[in-house]
Amino acid sequence: MSGTSTIPDPGLEDATRSEASLRRFLHGLPGVDQVGAEARAAGLGTRSIKTSAKEFALDLAIRMVDLTTLEGQDTPGKVRALASKAMRPDPADPSCPSVAAVCVYPDMVATVKDTLGAAGGASGVHVAAVATAFPSGRAALDVKLADTRDAVEAGADEIDMVIDRGAFLSGRYQQVFDEIVATKRACARPSGDDAHLKVILETGELQTYDNVRRASWLAMMAGADFIKTSTGKVQPAATLPVTMIMLEAVRDFREQTGQMVGVKPAGGIRTAKDAIKYLVTVNEVAGQDWLDPDWFRFGASTLLNDLLMQRTKMRTGRYSGPDYFTLD
């Protein structure tokens, strides 16, 4: 990933100057017609991806997975198992690529680092940590920032923060903006090797596509490296239309500022078939520049095994039972 600038683009400086100008800008974005947006997403979902295109898509999807466990019951043992799987998703097939990252709570970052490091650290798998009082974001700003700094100090490469949906829904856009900017600063390291910031919008709580578009722009203007749909703790989590709206936002943002921002749907994507629909949407809405783990991720856990099963099926012509794939 790149795009470490925390400074809003000069072209958008006016928009972020005050609460009032921020509101004017966000409310001036073109609206989203719900029926039309959902029809478009459904249309993209009917693309038929077969043979060589499917092989390409499955490998790409595996490389885009942020393999995630965010449970109160997580233990070092569980997290080590997950990290091992992230490096070698299919132990039976060395040609199978590793996933993009392992996503855990901050206190598990060190465990993941150790496991990746013990294997030589050459897998390229990143460590992502959720922070800022995930998943609700209901804490004082200094607590959220301390949470973030903890994760960064423990060695997280990527921070997945949540926005304050209460502030957003009550129209306090400046507060949401400032919190993202502050979290971005907390991602900084003296070495200059800053952690990348993914901003979770929790679209299931924002409810409308207009809100999703506004929140996307707000996060991008505040310096997000990635915008992410959901925590996975709220239903609905990622949906294809919501992801499409966010892909339109990053596409339009690059058009206006020249800066690329990544997109991460998370939660609810469980099958290879669904993942391929998302990749088609990336391809046709944002464009093929985003078809890269640096710019598009899937936040998922069960998805990975279905991708592996489909991949094996493509190679052998046979479906294998679930016991031929590792449980994490």
Partner 1 sequence: MGFEYAPAPESRSIVDIKPSYGLFVNGEFVDGHGKSFKTISPATEEVLAEVAEADESDVDAAVKAARRAYEKVWGPMPGRERAKYLYRIARIIQERSRELAVLESLDNGKPIKESRDVDVPTVAAHFFYYAGWADKLEYAGRGADPRPLGVAGQVIPWNFPLLMLAWKIAPALACGNTVVLKPAETTPLTALLFAEICQQADLPPGVVNIVTGAGATGQALVGHAGVDKVAFTGSTEVGKAIARAVAGTDKKVTLELGGKAANVVFDDAPLDQAVEGIVNGIFFNQGHVCCAGSRLLVQESVADELLAKLKRRMSTLRVGDPLDKNTDIGAINSAEQLAKIRDLSEIGESEGAGRWSPACDLPTTGFWFPPTLFTGVSQAHRIAREEIFGPVLSVLTFRTPSEAVEKANNTPYGLSAGVWTEKGSRILSMANQLRAGVVWANTFNKFDPTSPFGGFKESGYGREGGRHGLEAYLK
Instruction: Report which residue type is found at 38.
Output: E
| CA 264 from centroid of its chain's CA atoms | 3
Please, which residues have CB within 8 angstroms of residue 271's CB and are 6 or more apart in sequence? Answer: 303, 306
Backbone angles phi, psi at 318, to 5 degrees: -130, 150
Choice between 57 and 108, CB closer to partner 1: 57
Rg (CA), the chain: 19
Distances 270 to 69, 168, 244 between C-alpha atoms, Å: 14, 29, 18
Active site residue 66: no
For residue 131, the minimal CB distance to partner 1 (Å) is 32
For residue 277, the minimal CB distance to partner 1 (Å) is 13
Active site residue 228: yes
List the catalytic residue out of 228, 274, 306, 328. 228
For residue 284, the minimal CB distance to partner 1 (Å) is 5
Contact in structure between 40 and 245 (CB atoms under 8 Å):
no
Helices (H), 18-108: 19-28, 34-44, 51-63, 76-87
Choice between 220 and 279, CB closer to partner 1: 279
Choice between 210 and 225, CB closer to partner 1: 210
For residue 90, the minimal CB distance to partner 1 (Å) is 22
Which string of DSSP letters, residue by residue, matches 160-179? EEE--HHHHHTT-HHHHHHH
Choice between 65 and 109, CB closer to partner 1: 65
List the catalytic residue out of 160, 164, 194, 225. 160
First to last CA, the chain: 27
Whole-angstrom Cα distance, residue 239 to residue 229? 8
Residues near partner 1 (CB under 8 A) are 30-33, 35-37, 39-40, 46-54, 56-57, 60, 248, 255, 279-280, 283-284, 288, 291
List the catalytic residue out of 54, 144, 264, 277. 264
Instruction: Report which residue type is found at 225.
Output: D
For residue 261, the minimal CB distance to partner 1 (Å) is 17
For residue 45, the minimal CB distance to partner 1 (Å) is 12
Contact in structure between 309 and 325 (CB atoms under 8 Å):
yes
Choice between 105 and 290, CB closer to partner 1: 290
Contact in structure between 221 and 9 (CB atoms under 8 Å):
yes
Choice between 157 and 274, CB closer to partner 1: 274
Active site amino acids: 160, 228, 264
